[in-house]
Amino acid sequence: MLYRRAGSTHFWVRFRLRGREVRRSTRTSDRAQAERLEKKLRENAWAQTELNETFHTWDEATARWLTERAAKRSLDRDKEAFGIVAEFFTGLPLKEITAPRIAKLRQVLQVGRKPATVVRLLASIRAVLRASAAWGWLADAPRVLMPKIERGEPRFLTREEFERLHKELPEHLRPMARFSVETGQRYGSVARLQWVAVDLKRKHAYITSGTSKSKKAIALPLNTTALAVLRAQLGKHVVYVFADHKNRAPIGSVKTAWLKAVKRAGLDGFRWHDLRHTWASWHTANGTPPVVLKELGGWASLAMVERYSHLSPGHLAQWVESGTKTGTASRRKRRKRLVYKARRA
């Protein structure tokens, strides 16, 4: 049967065949098109139940994906993505999720969403389809074209701007922000930092593999300011270094408090993650070699560090005269040879 949900202009189809229920949106407000889709869905269901034709649906694929990737740290993002595309793919056989269909979905997803969000959603779809091909549920995974993302320059603050922002933050967030900008660690690693991973005598903290994005442990040397922040936190929470205004830890989302502080400081659009960019920018401007910065920041490759290289051209200065020196030396040698030959003659 066809029906409309409250608040929806699209027709939905729902029917049951031998105990198997099919329910999904037709993605159209045209009744004739909706009826054609319903007929096709009924034919697929009949072929599967009566002719024993084996094919798997998108719902089966996502269910298996979530089961097999239960330990994946970004599983909640996958669930969110599957929820968004459910209206388009629910009940659909995998073999009918073709490249043209995905291209149409991409156009719909791009309305009102940032390119990075669309890429994340499409990446989840692509991962499930590739896994389905590996399971033998698909002959080949269809191609998923990603929209291009223009990456701008990393945003960072001057020290004066950071101090202005620091004053506007709630009291419980100030130590976290200071520690973040002095160590370059991501929000999750800082919020979940525990005292057992801190060695004040050796002036080190240890970012565990469970909290680092790269899934690799990071030995983090601490500068004087970072050490001062940690010492000031002693005795505030038994397990975690940082706690909220009610001494609860680990601290969850700080989005609302952060956005208000950023606005009051006149730094609209500045994100918590930009503190990491700020830390890297300060280091680069002060001459920290890219290889060292890579290790300190826990990046997997130098390519990520190269985004900051324009801030410190000083490491190139020693080479700018090389071409001139080589050319001068060569001319000098040629002149000596000519003089020597003239004297011999």
Active-site residue numbers?
Answer: 186, 213, 273, 276, 299, 308
β-bridge pairing 218-221 and 204-207: antiparallel
Q: Are 90 and 25 in contact (CB under 8 A)?
A: yes
Q: Are 243 and 186 in contact (CB under 8 A)?
A: no
From CA 262, how far away is CA 250, in angstroms rounded? 22
**Which phi and psi (to 5°) does residue 69 adopt?**
-105, 30
Within 10 A of 188 (CB to CB), how many other CB atoms are there? 15
From CA 179, how far away is CA 231, in angstroms rounded? 11
CA 200 to the chain's CA centroid: 31
CA 51 to the chain's CA centroid: 45
CA distances from 322 to 100, 289, 328, 335 (A): 55, 21, 10, 20
Q: Are 146 and 119 in contact (CB under 8 A)?
A: yes
From CA 272, how far away is CA 259, in angstroms rounded? 9
From CA 169, how far away is CA 256, in angstroms rounded? 11
Q: How many contiguous H segments (helices) and E segments (strands) does the chain have?
A: 15, 6
Q: Are 191 and 176 in contact (CB under 8 A)?
A: yes
